[in-house]
């Protein structure tokens, strides 16, 4: 088995969709920012285990903390885009999405000094009603997307989508490489594994087993997480029980579990896999 994929969605604890009703975007600047210290911690862990990753960076963060972007680039990791304002795509018009995308891409590239070729939507919000966004990604120069989650979920998901990376054919002969979030197939249903809250909430035994199942298919595991997930001391935001449960449960488990994955695996940025994938499909 070759390398697995590791990606970090660079956003702060108050940016998450779970708190969208409690924390208006207009109030973001009022909250204590912890994204730099947490991203620096992730970078230190990657350096310790000599692993490389993709960082999907929120444009709002890149604009205010360009040093974060430079640190990521200087450490040899991939810079990618996580939107500007962390809005779910299906709540936007195509023009609003285009403007958000352009703004985010520009500030990340300006700060990092290198092109941005990959995108991940906030809350995996490329789904059936927002597939039009893939056309705009290609229009704006993106090579791959990692926004489709092949599961059923109350906030996102396309359970009938392919489970492993594939070329998504668009109109006019265009295409984009889709690198889905990680799932396994069990009892005729797709189940999430090895990413974000699922890495925190579900037993590590399940995660290890899920990774083995994906490897048996000779596919890479697309592990993902957020810098705030290694910060159990972050401020608590008052929200509903479901949002609080999803966000806060298991924060103290993230770093030791990430260490286990880093020590036992071999990871690379998504773009390196995508380039090999494209070379094979063109052959």
Backbone angles phi, psi at 16, to 5 degrees: -70, 155
Q: Whole-model pTM?
A: 0.96
CATH of the domain at 120: 3.20.20.370
What does the pLDDT read at residue 282? 66
pLDDT < 70 stretches in the chain? 1, 282-283
Pairing of strands 118-119, 183-186: unpaired
What does the pLDDT read at residue 69? 98
CA dist., res. 15 & res. 61, Å (int): 10
Cβ contacts of residue 105 below 8 Å, gap of 6+? 59, 81, 116, 140, 141
Compute the CA torsion angle 146, 147, 150, 152 (nearest 10 deg).
Answer: 160
- Closest-CA residue to 242 (of 77, 81, 95, 22): 22
The packing angle between helices 251-264 and 204-216, to 10°, is 40
- Give residue-wise pLDDT tens across range 112-154: 999 999 999 999 999 999 999 999 999 999 999 999 999 887 7
Contact 56, 9 (CB under 8 A): yes
Cβ contacts of residue 224 below 8 Å, gap of 6+? 6, 7, 8, 9, 146, 181, 182, 195, 196
Residue 69 tokens, joined: 């972007």
What does the pLDDT read at residue 18? 85
Contact 59, 107 (CB under 8 A): yes
Give the domain range for residue 137. 4-282
- In the chain, the number of structural domains is 1
- Give 261's Cβ-side CA count (13 Å radius): 36
Backbone angles phi, psi at 6, to 5 degrees: -130, 130
Backbone angles phi, psi at 222, to 5 degrees: -95, 75
What does the pLDDT read at residue 153? 77
Q: How far is CA 119 from CA 100, 159, 162, 177, 255, in A?
A: 12, 20, 18, 11, 25
Compute the CA torsion angle 109, 271, 142, 41 (nearest 10 deg).
Answer: -40
What does the pLDDT read at residue 14? 95
């Amino acid at each position: 088995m070759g390398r697995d994929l590791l990606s970090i969605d660079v956003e702060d604890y108050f940016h998450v969709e779970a708190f969208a009703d409690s924390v208006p975007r207009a109030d973001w600047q009022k909250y204590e920012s912890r994204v730099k210290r947490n991203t620096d911690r992730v970078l230190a862990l990657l350096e310790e285990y000599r692993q490389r990753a993709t960082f999907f960076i929120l444009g709002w963060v890149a604009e205010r903390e360009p040093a974060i972007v430079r640190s990521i680039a200087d450490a040899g990791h991939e810079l990618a885009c996580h939107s500007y304002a962390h809005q779910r795509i299906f709540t936007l018009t195509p023009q609003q999405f285009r403007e958000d995308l352009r703004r985010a891409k520009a500030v990340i590239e300006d700060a990092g000094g290198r092109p941005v070729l990959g995108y991940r939507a906030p809350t995996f919000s490329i789904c059936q009603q927002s597939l039009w966004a893939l056309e705009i990604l290609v229009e704006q120069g993106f090579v791959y997307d990692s926004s489709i989650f092949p599961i059923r979920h109350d906030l996102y998901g396309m359970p009938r989508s392919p489970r492993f990376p594939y070329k998504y054919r668009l109109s006019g002969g265009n295409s984009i490489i889709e690198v889905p979030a990680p799932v396994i197939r069990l009892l005729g249903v797709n189940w999430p594994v090895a990413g974000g809250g699922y890495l925190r909430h579900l037993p590590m035994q399940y995660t290890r087993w899920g990774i083995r199942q994906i490897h048996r298919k000779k596919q890479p595991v697309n592990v993902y997480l957020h810098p705030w997930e290694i910060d159990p001391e972050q401020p608590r935001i008052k929200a509903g029980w479901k949002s609080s449960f999803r966000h806060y449960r298991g924060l103290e488990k993230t770093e030791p579990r990430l260490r286990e994955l880093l020590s036992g695996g071999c990871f690379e940025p998504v773009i390196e896999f995508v380039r090999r994938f494209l070379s094979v499909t063109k052959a």
